[in-house]
Structure 1
Amino acid sequence: MQRLALILAAALLAPLHAAQAFDLQGHRGARGLAPENTIAGFARTLAIGVNTLETDIAISRDGVLLISHDPALNPDITRGPDGQFLAARGPVIFHTPWAELQRYDVGRLRPGTRYAGQYPEQQPVDGARLPALAELFDLVKRAGDPRLRLALETKLNPNTPDDTAAPEPFARALVAAVRDAGLATRTSILSFDWRTLQVIQREAPEIPTVYLTARQRWLDNVGRGPATPWTAGFALADHGSVPKMVRAAGGKVWSSFHGDLDAAQVKEAQALGLQVLAWTVNEPAQIEAMLDLGVDGIVSDRPDRVREAMARRGMPLPARIQVAP
């Protein structure tokens, strides 16, 4: 009976989710303006005003769900207990206890790096730590706006399986945390690794799944024909297009790298009943191009710029929320 109730709830919620306003998502908070994936950064993003906070989920050695894009501590943003930036790739999060991870500061970009050069307007927040997912849940609840949503990405790579939890336990742990927080109806779960999304759809039909894709030299999780290790057995050759592939996998939302999108694909996906998101769209010309394509949402390190473009077009804007980190 409980599973039937969840399926019915998902069926009722899906039209509401599909009919919602344009979805402005702050990528890793607002990485262009504040330290990525930090509580201070998320608070800054809420003050800018977004529909959705997008972030990345990892699991520590002792099972704590936490927020980090990288499987190991990134020397471009991480300082050790001595206050110095790490000289090389840091500890793998899945192999490191939560208490040990809390000794590191992730509140500032390393000067002189290419990474720092990409985000010259980011303001540091010294002392920021890798947050537990529970801290983000608390921030969202304190924000007090039931329209605010979360987009949580399971960070796995099938080519480096020892660096993270396996897809099934990872997905189950995340579902349990979201449900325990009472935020299942306000959360989407996304991944490049579609194996976790298949688990979510089976175990938590009330939580929408978002299928991430990139077809670039630096990442191609879709491939050109046969199934790849990322796509849970779904093959482009069997379906003829990425939107049809996502639909066949059971997805409700397709989130594509913006450089892969064109008008025909957006139209096809929407005709299949998919919402189409574009990531990571930061430059004004890119933002305008995605809006011209008619995407249903934009994921951006600069949500302030997306808001400006939306305002010029007379689009409804999400609320600005002031909340202490």
Structure 2
Amino acid sequence: MLKTILSIYLGVIATMSFADSSYPIIAGKPHTDSKKPFVEVYAHRGARSFSPENTMPAYKTGLAVGTNWVDMDIGVTKDGIILIDHDIWLNPDILRKDGKFWANSKQEFYKSLESAPGGIDKNIQPYLVKNLTLTQLQKYDAGKLNPASPYAKYFSEQYPVDGTRMPTLQEVADYVNKVTDNQVDFQIEIKNDPEHPNWTVSPKEFAIKVNQFLVKNNLVERAEIQSFDWVPLYELHKLNPKVKLAFLVGGDDIERMHSSDPKQAGLWSGGKLLKDYGNSLPKMIKALGGSCYEPQDTALTKEDLDEAHKLGLKVVVWTWPENSGSVFDPILVDKLIKWGVDGIITDDPAQLNSMLAARGLPVPKNYPSY
């Protein structure tokens, strides 16, 4: 059924005539100077509504459906390779070893490690991406969701591809550039956790690795680098001020940043406090070198959107299905389009593209892979 739906969608897209197929996609730049409205499409983790997240099948699907940006999460392996993977430790919701899921869910597995003798810091070490080589990591199969996990219920249409491995950032960049002739850009999220700083490489090492990759691949002008922990972004800005930085915040992050406890308020911002910037996230992000304000879709206010645009910040929103209860909320998306957001990070680029087309807005070119 999914293949049939995608085939119909791609056929429609292929025959559509766009009034303006050359709308300017510029990293880190808002649309405030554009004469016509448009919304940039970011295919989240490749397009995980349809294919296994952060894998080659997902990036092929995202490009086939049509996207302006491919989105990915990264870690650094024991042998210093940038791996595409959302979790800083092996996640049994999406990974199998020798054909088997080793736990019913990520949450259950974490609790078992936490309660075992020695506690979480000791017991999680064999599962950290940081402590495993690329060869060891690619022994895991990332091609199918664990049906017992709560995570799986959000992606009932995801098409499994057995034998899928976690790719490197270089592999995905090479593929995307080749297939699109360098016409689709890259949103790269650094995955670390300031509550567990030793579970990944340091923010400085992340920044060095990312900058080396961007420069080597001539992607400085075609990438936006995200992080919920803002410290790697500060480090990257020191190395290369030309890199466009995207500051991620969820609704829970915003609540925490208003805490009266400065340790909590500054936990994910490297000690920087929202109150020192007039309690304005756009002003804070602008002052800290950001190009993009990237709040959770349910947390964005029209006032913050307008203020961000006045400051020259690009505003791109994202969805947290486990928090909001759904992968795609068309009512919320309609409101955000009307408000004038610059981009939407979505697990379902096909539905977003359909909504844009229905409103006479440009839809990104698709690149089928047959």
Question: TM-score higher than 0.5 here?
Answer: yes
Deviation at 1:115, TM superposition (A): 0.8
Structure 1 counterpart SS, 2:164: coil
How do residues 119-268 of structure 1 correspond to structure 2 at under 5 angstroms? 119-216=155-252, 222-224=257-259, 226=262, 227-240=265-278, 241-268=280-307
SS in 2 for 1:321: coil
What is the CA–CA distance in structure 1 between the aligned matches of 2:86 and 2:28, rounded to whole Å?
A: 29
Whole-angstrom distance in 2 between the partners of 1:212 and 1:223: 16
Query: Hey, what's the Cα distance between the residues in 2 that align with 1:308 and 1:221?
Result: 36
Q: Deviations over 1:58-103 (max 9, x none)?
A: 01111110001111111111100x2011223571111111111010
Give the distance between the partners of 2:178 and 2:316, measured in 1 at CA.
27
Change in 2 beyond 3 A, CA 1:57/1:221: farther
Pick from 42, 56, 64 the counterpart of residue 47 of structure 1. 64
CA separation in 1, counterparts of 2:30 and 2:196? 34
Cα separation, 2, equivalents of 1:167 and 1:145: 32
Which residue matches 2:357?
311
- For 1:108, the equivalent position in structure 2 comes to 144
Whether contact under 8 Å (2:95, 2:101) holds in the other structure is yes
Q: Distance in 2 between matches of 1:138 and 1:132?
A: 10
Which of 268, 279, 292 lines up with 2:338 in the alignment?
A: 292
CA distance in 2 between partners of 1:150 and 1:189 (Å) = 8
The aligned residue for residue 3 of structure 1 is none
| 1:298 partner amino acid | I
SS of structure 2 residue aligned to 1:309: helix
Contact 2:220 2:243 in 1 (8 A): yes
- 2:54 matched to which residue of 1? 37
Q: Structure 2: any 5+ residue segments left out of the alignment?
A: 1-24, 104-108, 111-125, 320-326
Deviation, structure 1 residue 253: 0.6
CA gap of 1:16–1:72, structure 2 versus 1, over 3 A, is: closer
Residue matched to 1:69: 86
Q: Which one of 268, 272, 276 corresponds to residue 315 of structure 2?
A: 276
1:153 partner amino acid: E
CA distance in 2, matches of 1:131, 1:125: 14
Cα offset, 1:229, TM superposition: 2.1
* Aligned residue pair count: 310
Give distance in 2, aligned partners of 1:129 and 1:109.
13
When the two structures are superposed, what TM-score results if normalisation uses the length of structure 2?
A: 0.79
**Which of structures 1 and 2 has the bigger CA Rg?**
2
Q: CA deviation at 1:194?
A: 0.8
Number of the residue aligned with 1:97: 133
Q: Displacement of 1:150 after TM fit? A: 0.2
In structure 1, distance between residues paired with 2:171 and 2:83: 9
2:106 alignment partner in structure 1? none
- Note if contact 1:234-1:249 (Cα within 8 Å) is conserved in structure 2: no
Find the partner of 1:60 among 66, 70, 77.
77
Q: Residue 221 of structure 1 contacts residue 230 of structure 1 at CA under 8 Å; is this kept in 2?
A: no
Q: Cα gap change, 1:150/1:159 in structure 2, threshold over 3 Å: closer, same or farther? A: same
Q: Which amino acid aligns with 1:141?
A: N
The separation in 2 between residues aligned to 1:305 and 1:14, in whole angstroms, is 23
Give the drift of 1:14: 7.2
- Normalized per residue, the structure richer in helix is 2
Shift of 1:206: 2.0
- Separation in structure 2 between the aligned mates of residue 165 and residue 316 of structure 1, nearest angstrom: 40
Shift of 1:247: 1.0
Moved over 4 A (4+): 13-16
Name the Cα RMSD after superposition: 2.0
The answer on whether the counterparts of 1:47 and 1:322 sit within 8 Å (CA) in structure 2 is yes
| Percent of aligned positions that are identical | 35
Distance 1:254 1:175, change over 3 A: same
What SS does structure 2 have at the residue aligned with 1:216? Answer: helix
Offset at 1:118? 0.7
Shift of 1:221: 6.2
Query: For 2:358 and 2:153, how far apart are their aligned partners in 1?
Result: 29
Is residue 39–residue 337 contact of structure 2 (8 Å, CA) maintained in 1? Answer: no
Tell whether the 8 Å contact from 2:43 to 2:349 is kept in structure 1 after alignment. yes
Q: Which moved further from structure 2: 315-324 or 183-192?
A: 315-324
Q: Are 1:28 and 2:45 counterparts?
A: yes
Shift of 1:159: 0.3
The 8 Å contact of residues 192 and 221 in structure 1, kept in 2 or not, is answered as no
**Corresponding residue SS for 1:143:** helix
